[in-house]
Structure 1
Amino acid sequence: MELNKIEKLLEKYFAAATTIEEEKELKDYFSSSNVAPTLDQYKPIFVYAVQAKQEQFIAPITLKNNKRSKIVWLSIAASVAVLLGLVLLTFNQYNELESQDLGTIDDPNIAFRETQKALNMISEHVNKGIGSVKYINEYEQTKNKIFK
Structure 2
Amino acid sequence: MELNKIEDIIEKYFQGETSIAEENQLKEYFSSSNVAQHLEQYKPMFGYFSQAKEQKSTHEIPLLPKTRNKQRKTAWLSIAASTVILLGVGSYFYVSESNNSNTAVASKTELGTYDNPEEALAATQKALALLSNNVNVGIESVQYINEYEKSKNKIFKQ
Larger radius of gyration: 1
TM-score, normalized by length of structure 1?
A: 0.48
TM-score, normalized by length of structure 2?
A: 0.45
